[in-house]
Structures are given as structure tokens and as C-alpha cells.
Chain A
């Protein structure tokens, strides 16, 4: 095996600059007279941007806490506050940070308001209630009824009505008028960034894949935090060009790509490097994942000419707000698209709606595509739920099985 050094993605540096500037702006919002809204990762951020309100994402904060390995300490603090260790570790870590300004960036800027969209889970409702009580600020809940098999007309009507309530809430909280022309522009930029993000992810259809899911976990930050701004559009344009260049030069994310895998669920933030090296050493590239693609998965429902209204459907039908059979269908689509050999599922103790149903999805995938899968037991932030030895053994065994399959096919 030839072990040439893979050139680093240059945009990484730019991303770090943007994120630093973003957090500095958010932390000094008071001085600049801007308002800060905390919002869930799947929540409609565009109206905030259109109102010049700075959106802050506790889940992104959670990811940073996990990546900086501060999760266990903060989770334990939350447990000392009475929160059960079985609760989502993003929520636990964030709740523990608030009173002590803890975590890698000394706490998030205080919110002026909270925007909670339950299209990802029921946890965010409870988490935001906790923070609304703690900070004493108003909470807006955008309730997106779960789409087990359909997005019903009554659900659509309900969400549409709440989009209006959302705008009213923003007007009342800021004392300013909502700018209906501005939202069109923001909506356009948001869509553009989402399309670019999808195009970046699509680059992994190439063999070898120029970027892996581990890269995607990193470059995701802007589509979560800054979609709807020109900054995000510019960034993803730059990233896309760079990744294209890698494709043209035949540069893969890992030196020798023999296996192409699909990752399911959130990253294991405190072990991304280890996992990335592990898979790489076994010549396996995680070419796609269900997590980072969730931020462009409902593009199909968005109507550029009527962004505000079509948002209702777009935000209701995201990956985590649909039945497991539909999730399996999406995964099968990705397996075909990215030519995947195996599925790696992170059974994430923190995230029940993402993890319950994985066994059934695994079965459906096996029955319909014959693709084998591996389940890794872990947690995205709370390292106490991760056993390196066990995960290591499971990955080795799985790759051996895949190797056998490949040889059998080739023979």
C-alpha cells in the first residue's frame, strides 16, 4: 500500500476564521445592539437572519463541547443538578454550561429569546423549557407534527399558521417590523447554500471520494449556523471548487479507498480522529452519512418564489421527522447514489429518535440491498458510553466480513 500524504482541505482554515468571527459577533451582540436568539439545529433560522437577530445553536455548542472532550465533566455537572444520565448529552452539557459559563468558549452569549422546533426530537422542547426558565426569556415553539406516513393537510395548515405566529413573535420581541422583501433574499441565499452543500456532498460519488463523512462533519457548521447569509454561500462555493479540484487530480479522502461506507446518526465527537484513522487504516472511506445530508434533504419541498410558506413543509419533512420506513428508503437512495458497500450505524444513547428503529432499518436495508451493517454503541458527547476496545473489535470484524464479501464477488 502506497502511503502518500493527503493534502489538507484548505477551506478548513477559512471555516475556523468564519466560526471565530461568528462567535465573537454573537458574544458582543449587546455592544452592537443586536439581539441573540438560541435556535434548534433543525429550526427555521431564515426569519431571524432577515430580522438581523443573531442565531446561536446550542447543538453546535454541544458538538464543540464533545470535540473538546469537555463532555463528561459537564454531563456530570448536569447530573449533580438532578438531570438523569440517560438524557441527551447535548442538552445535559448545555444546561450545565449556562450557570457557570462553562465549555470551550466560556459559555454561549445570553439569549434574548429561544426558538425551538421539535422536528428533530422531543428533547429540544424540554431542553428549551429549562433554558427559558433559567434565562427568563420568551420561548417560541414551532410545532412540526411528526410525519409517520404523511404530512397531512391539517398539519400543513397548522405549521403554516405557526410561521405567521413566529413572525409575530419576532416582531413583538424585537419591537421591529418584519421585512418581507428581505426574507425573500435570505430564503434565496439559504437555498443556494443548501444546494451548494448538497453539491459538496455529491462530490463523494466520485471514486475515490474526495471527502469523507469526517470532513463533512466539520464543514457542516456553516450550513447549520449561517445558512441564509452570503458568507455561507461564498464559503461553500470556495469549498466546492476545492473539492472539484481534488476530484480532477484524483485525490481521495484516504490514501487507498477499497471500501465505501455510509455513516448513520450523529458523529462521536470526542473520537472523530480516532474513528477516521481506524477506518482509513482499513482502507475504508465513510463516503456519506445521514446526518450532514439532513440540512439539504428537504430541498425538494422548498419553493424559491414562496419561501416562507414552503418552509412549513420543508421543515416538517426533514430526516428525523419521518417514519423509519421512509428513513430506510432515503438510506437506500444514498447507498445507490454513493455506491456504498456497508452501513455503519452509531447507536447513540443520547438520541432516541435517531437510534430507535435502527435495527429495523438495518433489516430493511439487508433485505432490499443485501448490504451488511455494523452497529457501534456510543454517545456523541458523553465519553463514558464509549468503549474503544469494543468498538475497535467490532470494526475489525465488520471489515473482515466486507473483505470476504468483496473477494467472493471478485472471484
Chain B
């Protein structure tokens, strides 16, 4: 499968992919850090949305700006920027989510790291009418900022075109994840993870074609039954930068059959209504897609979503994972765990420190957990 090869390469070396893109395509690259970044607007402005994952380990330049008790994503992205590795970026868009990204945005702006910088100050509530109105206006402001900077007009058709592309991307991802959830054997965990990751990096039009092709290839594979005797797990949490987690869990004897991660289903969940006014339709997706813990959609929304997910995917357990120092996720964990406990669903928590644990060590932990299920 040659698409798979493209994905693996891009994921193994995202910066090389970005540089190549920068050299060969006429779409300037627009960086972003969070699943609430409006990729549709970026595309419609003639730009390429490129998600930043940050450098792992050996962070020292960022130390001049951020304390050690800041999460490794925020520190890692700043490190890459200060090391001059993000020269291909025309700009970065910072959606307002957590306190750490909020301050990274300030630092980024003051250091004038990229020619273009925008804050998308989203509402924190995603469940009221006034928040909905405000959110639409915030998107509209970003649209004007992009237009002014690029000297263009983003027409309604441009937006509709971009929405169609992103809908196609999301449909493709949903389809692959769904098929793979039913028959985990049809695609390795490592490849699934590469697909999820690559979807934040690759040219979205090409990506939508590639995803459709992969989906077609998967059709007809597998026996379509859930029961293959192996344990089924759901991954839940935040930004997951453990590159091999799907593979390690697989080695340990279980399959990841669903997720609630910002590098997974939260990003590709929810479709945009193509019949509605574009900004309004985008707004509505934000209000209905699975919610990030830095946002508010009721007191138990995330717990209910997780339970629903576990049942829908017929999962046997949940692995929670988030980066150390990530407040929003650390705050939600006890209540989410209590939800699972009450329903008799076992869970394991894996907080990712700056230094990743060795693969062997992780596999042992997963094996021990899987045995208890």
C-alpha cells in the first residue's frame, strides 16, 4: 500500500515533510497546536494546515521562556521554533484552550517567531446560545485577519470547498477507524496510528484521496466479527505522543479499538453540515463533536461519552493517557475513572513524563493490566 508508506514517512519525520511541501507547493504552511484549530478556514485561505507536535527530549532553548512544570508539548513546540526548525511556517494559529497554550501564544507573538500569528479566543462554554454566537464571530474575525494578511477575499465558495475536503478527510478517517474497530486484524495498530497522525500533516486534498483508497482496500478484509479472542481497549486522554502505543498494546495482547484523544477521534469526530452557512456549520461542529476537558459541555458529558464509546466498541477496558503537567486532563481523570468503576470497566492510567519509559517497561505494564481484565 503506497499511501501507507507516505504516511509512515511523514509521521517519522514531519519536519522533512513540511520542508519538502514548502519547497514544492505554493500553499504556505500554517501551524497549529490543538484540535480546535479551524482547518477549513486555513485551507480556504489557500494555506496548508500543519499540526505541531514538538520536539521530544533535550529541551533547553525553551527553558529560557518556560518553567519545567509546563507540559512537554508546549515546551517541545517552542524548542523546535527557537532551534530554527520551523522556518517553513508562514504563521501559527493559537486556539484558546489551556493556560499553557495561552501563554505560549504570548511568548510566540513577542518573539515574533512567525510572520503571522493569530489568537482564536474560543469560548470556554460550548453549550449555550450566547457562546455559539460568540464562537461564530470569533471564526469570522479569524477569517478577516487571514484575508487582510493574505490580501485576498475568502469567498463562501472557498469555504464550502474547504469544508468538503475536511469532511472527506474526516469521513475517511471515521471509516477506517470503524472498520478497524470491527476487525482489528485488518490493519496493524502502528499503521492505524500513523494514519491518525499523518492526517494532521499531509496535504488535505491528497490525504482525502489516500484515505478513501485505504478504506476501499480494507473493505472486504476481515471477517466482520468483533470476537477474535483478544482484549479490546479504548485509549482516552489528551495529546498522545507515545509514537508506538498502538503497537505496544498490540504486542501486549490487546487491540486499541476506539479512542477519545485530541490526536484521534476528537479531531476527526463530527461532520460539518454542507448545506448550512459555512461559519455557522463549522461552529455547530465545535459544539457537538467530542469535547476537550479545557472546554465545558455540561458536568458529565465527557464521562457519558466515554461510557458510550466503550459500549459501542465493545471494549474490555480503558487506558488513560496524557502528558504530565496537563491540567485539564488531570482534573477530569478521577471522575472519568469513577464513571468507569461504577460500570465495572477496568482502567489503567499512563501519565507521560518528559522522558518516555522504555518500550519493554510499558509492555510489561500493559500485559499486567490486560491480564486483570
Q: Which residues of A contact B (CB under 8 A)?
A: 81-84, 86-88, 91, 118, 121-123, 125-127, 129-130, 132-133, 139, 141, 143, 145-146, 148-149, 152, 154-155, 157-158, 161-162, 165, 323-325, 347, 349, 352-353, 355-360
Query: Are B106 and A325 neighbours in the complex by a CB distance under 8 Å?
Result: yes
- Least CB distance from A350 to B in Å reads 9
Q: Mark B335-348, 1 if CB is under 8 A from A, else 0.
A: 10100000000000
> Given that A81-B334, A141-B125 are known contacts, is A324 also in contact with B106, CB under 8 Å in the complex?
yes
Indicate if the CB atoms of B99 and A121 lie closer than 8 Å: yes
Judge whether A154 and B141 touch: CB under 8 Å: yes
Contact B141 A152 (CB under 8 A): yes
A141, B296: Cβ atoms under 8 Å? yes
In contact, B69 and A352 (Cβ under 8 angstroms): yes
Q: Which residues of A contact B97 (CB under 8 A)?
A: 122
Given A148-B106, A155-B121: A161 and B330 interface contact (C-beta under 8 Å):
no
Pick from A122, A157, A324: contact of B98, CB under 8 Å? A122
Q: Is B65 an interface residue (CB 8 A)?
A: yes
The 28 listed contacts between A and B (C-beta, < 8 Å) are A87-B330, A91-B331, A122-B124, A126-B331, A127-B331, A129-B299, A133-B300, A139-B299, A141-B124, A143-B124, A143-B125, A145-B96, A146-B96, A148-B105, A149-B109, A154-B134, A155-B134, A157-B137, A165-B130, A324-B106, A352-B99, A352-B100, A355-B67, A356-B67, A359-B65, A360-B65, A360-B106, A360-B110
B21 at the interface (CB under 8 A from A): no
* Bound CA–CA A152/B138 (angstroms): 9
What 5 A-B pairs are tightest by C-beta distance, nearest first?
A: A126-B331, A82-B334, A356-B103, A154-B137, A158-B134
At the interface, yes or no: B214 with Cβ under 8 Å from chain A?
no
Q: When the two chains form the complex, which single residue of B109, B125, B294, B330 contacts A148, counting CB atoms closer than 8 Å?
A: B109
Q: Is the CB of B294 within 8 A of A122?
A: yes
Cβ contact within 8 Å between A323 and B106: yes
Residue interface mask B312-326, A partner, CB < 8 A = 1: 000000000000110
Interface flag for B87 (CB, 8 Å): no
- Proximity string of chain B (61-101) to chain A, C-beta cutoff 8 Å, 1 when within and 0 when not: 00011110110000000000000000000000000111110
Summarize B's interface: helix, strand, loop or mixed.
helix
Which residues in A have their C-beta under 8 angstroms from that of B64? 359
| CB pair B134 A126 closer than 8 Å | no
CB distance from B337 to the nearest CB of A (A): 6
B119-137 residues with Cβ-Cβ distance < 8 A to A are 119, 121, 123-125, 128, 130-131, 133-134, 137
Asked whether B332 is an interface residue with its Cβ less than 8 Å from the other chain, the reply is yes
Residues of B contacting A356 in the complex (Cβ-Cβ under 8 angstroms): 66-67, 70, 99-100, 103-104, 107
Residue from B67, B102, B121 within 8 A of A353 (CB atoms): B102
Q: Report yes or no: A123 in contact with B327, Cβ–Cβ below 8 A.
A: yes
Residues of B within 8 A of A157 (CB): 134, 137
Contact B327 A122 (CB under 8 A): yes
Cβ contact within 8 Å between B131 and A143:
yes
**Contacts A86-B327, A148-B121; A165 near B100 (Cβ below 8 A):** no
| Residues in B whose Cβ lies below 8 Å from that of A158 | 123, 130-131, 133-134, 137
Q: Least Cβ distance of B161 to chain A in Å? A: 26
